[in-house]
Amino acid sequence: MIRPILLLGSHNLYDVSVPVSKDEDIGQIVEDLRDTLLDWRSKNNAGRAIAAPQIGIGKRIIYVEIDEPLVFINPRLEFPTAKMMEVWDDCMSLPGLYVKVRRYEQCNVYFTDMDGNQKVFYLQGSMAELMQHEYDHLEGVLATMRAMDCKAFRMKKIEG
């Protein structure tokens, strides 16, 4: 089911999400995340991932669909180096707004998959940035809260 995406100003976006328990059935949540992301992508020609808090579900779940769908349950991040990069971050909860932020160039994400297997991915560059962005949603942190300074904002150009 396609769910409304919460927008900047929604108090739920600032809540810290709770872990998914071992016996919890999250199939419908994952399906809703997929449907919502794919709907957004079809309308905006963008969107690689979505976190459960963005559709009003305070659970630690991230859905990514680039080459194939991936579900990250109860992810945990580690940063192997202190090297940072600057990126213009965009978000479905901040449509049309870009925020310049600093992110780690690399991250390791430890998580459980849909089959209950423990996994780790070693990410760098744009994938590391994406995972940090989505993980921030689980922590109740928006890109606006990570802005480099008061001039680190720009709006998407409106066509027409």
**Sequential pLDDT tens for the chain (160 residues):** 999 999 999 999 999 999 999 999 999 999 999 999 999 999 999 999 999 999 999 999 999 999 999 999 999 999 999 999 999 999 999 999 999 999 999 999 999 999 999 999 999 999 999 999 999 999 999 999 999 999 999 998 866 5
pLDDT at 160: 58
CA 16, 10, 36, 57 dihedral sign is positive
Paired tokens of 65? 């669909």
Instruction: Kindly state whether residue 2 falls inside one of the protein's structural domains.
Output: no
Q: Amino acid identity of 105?
A: E
In this prediction, residue 157 carries a pLDDT of 80
Instruction: Let me know if residue 125 belongs to a domain.
Output: yes
Residue of 65, 68, 86, 134 marked catalytic: 134
* pLDDT of the residue at 20: 98
Residue 1 maps to a domain: no
CATH number, domain of 114, equals 3.90.45.10
Instruction: Give residue 141's domain range.
Output: 11-155
Residue 6: inside a domain: no
Q: What is the pLDDT of residue 34?
A: 98
Q: Is 137 annotated as a binding residue?
A: yes
Output phi, psi for 75, to 5 deg.
-65, 155
11 marked among binding-site residues: no
- The answer to whether 65 is a known catalytic residue is no
In a domain, 63, yes or no: yes
* Counted domains in the chain: 1
